[in-house]
């Protein structure tokens, strides 16, 4: 849930998209790739993949990994309640009346555009190789910026 401020930014231009700073790249269209990397590196069966699915007509799709007390996205680890309170407040400031539902996703949709579309036609995820370059190595490098847990997160 990030609104790019780059003048002339076109989300369909793969060269422009790839050139974004990592934080923006994983906030604007590659959050699902980062979620996949988190699950590969630190995932446990009880971790959920959560799609913040905006109400019809609104922007702000976002995919995160979550557990009972925390969530992970391009910001790193956040307390679950604080994350959602901030997201709703910020998105309502950008788009008055914004609302969303939280949808649990099967992990397999994160790296398959076809499976994401089969799950929900509004979910248009790119596979890692559908970016200008393979987005998974970039996600793993970005993930290295955050402290690794001593045990699987829960």
SS (H, E, C) 92-122: HHHCCCCCEEEEEECHHHHHCHHHHHHHCCC
Find out whether 54 and 99 touch, Cβ atoms under 8 Å: yes
Stretch among 48-57, 94-103, 121-130, 142-151 having the lowest mean pLDDT? 142-151
Q: Phi first, then psi: give them for residue 11, nearest 5 degrees.
A: -65, -15
- Mean pLDDT on 46-61: 92
SS3 (DSSP) at 151: coil
**Tokens read off for 149:** 């847990």
Three-state DSSP at 5 gives coil
Q: How would DSSP label each residue in 22-40?
A: HHHHHHTT-HHHHHHHHHH
Q: Mean pLDDT throughout 69-94?
A: 94
Signed CA dihedral, 153, 115, 4, 139: sign only: positive
Task: Examine the pLDDT at 154 and tell me if it is beyond 50.
Answer: no
Read off the pTM: 0.89
**Does 141 score more than 50 pLDDT?**
yes
SS3 state of residue 54: strand
pLDDT at position 3 is 53
Max mean pLDDT range (1-10, 37-46, 130-139)? 130-139
Q: What is the DSSP letter of 85?
A: H
């Amino acid at each position: 849930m990030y609104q790019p401020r780059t003048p002339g930014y076109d989300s369909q231009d793969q060269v422009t998209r790839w050139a974004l700073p990592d934080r923006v790249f994983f906030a604007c269209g590659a959050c699902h790739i980062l979620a996949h990397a988190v699950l590969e590196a630190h995932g446990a069966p009880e971790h959920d993949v959560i799609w913040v699915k905006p109400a019809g007509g609104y922007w702000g799709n976002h995919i995160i990994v979550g557990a009972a007390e925390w969530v992970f996205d391009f910001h790193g680890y956040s307390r679950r309640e604080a994350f959602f309170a901030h997201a709703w407040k910020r998105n309502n400031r950008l788009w008055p009346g914004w609302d969303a539902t939280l949808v649990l996703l099967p992990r397999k949709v994160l790296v398959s555009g076809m499976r994401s579309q089969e799950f929900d036609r509004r979910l248009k995820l790119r596979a890692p190789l559908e970016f200008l370059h393979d987005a998974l190595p970039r996600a793993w490098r970005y993930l290295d910026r955050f402290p690794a847990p001593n045990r699987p997160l829960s």
